[in-house]
Structure 1
Amino acid sequence: MNSQMFINLILEPLFKKDVPRLYPGEEKRIILHMDSAGAHVKDTVVKWLQDRKLKFITKVEWMSNSPDLSPMDSGVNSIFERRCNRHKAKNMAELLAIAKREWKKGLGRSGLGHCRNILKAW
C-alpha cells in the first residue's frame, strides 16, 4: 500500500465516517497513532493530516518497541492472551466468547488492580 492508497482507503473513511460515528462530538479530541509502515510516515500523509488539523502522534514521539516501555502490550495484553489461550476455541465465535468472558473476569477487582499495578510500575 502506498501513501495515497492509505489516505484514500483508510484515513479519509476513518475521519469522515468512523470517527464521527464512534465519537460523536469528540472528533477534534481524537489522536491518531500509527505504526512505522512506509505509507504511514510519508510526507504526503503527514501533510494530509496537518492540512486537516488532525491530531496524530509523530514517528519521533512513538514509544520504542520495548517491554519496559510498553506496559499494555507486555503486561495487560500478555496476561489477557495467556488467559484466552488456556481455552481451545474451535472457531472465531467461540474465541470471541472466550475473550469476552476472560476480559470480564480480568476487569474484576483483582484484574483492575493488576492493571493499575502494571501501569504504576511503568
Structure 2
Amino acid sequence: MSNLASELQKLRRICRRAELYEDGGQPLVHLPELRVTHAGDLEVVDGLLCPRHHSGYATRLFLSRPFPDRGQNWTTHNILGALWHAMSWNGVEADLSWDEILGAHLRPLQ
C-alpha cells in the first residue's frame, strides 16, 4: 500500500468518507460530515485537510464554516471551487501522520 493510501486509511477511521484530491501537486483530503468537538458539543462540518505546506503554514485544516468563538484570525479560501474557512493555527508539522495532523488542527475548537 502506498504512503498516501495508508495515510488516507488512517483518516477513514475518523471520517469514513474521506477522499483524496490533488491541488497544485499537493494532496488534499476531503472530509465530508467530519464530527468536531466544539466548546464541548459535537458539531458536523465538512473539512479539507492539507497535510503539506499551504498559504504560509506547514499544514492547514479548512472547514465549511468558521467557529469564531474558537481559534483566531479566521480567513476564507477558494479551493477546488468551494469556499473554505481556516483559523490561524501554525506549528502542525507535515512530518506527522495525517490523523495526527487532523487532531492537532481540531484541538483549538474544543
Scaled by the length of structure 2, the TM-score of the pair is 0.24
Which protein has the larger Cα radius of gyration, Structure 1 or Structure 2? 1
Higher strand fraction (1 or 2): 2
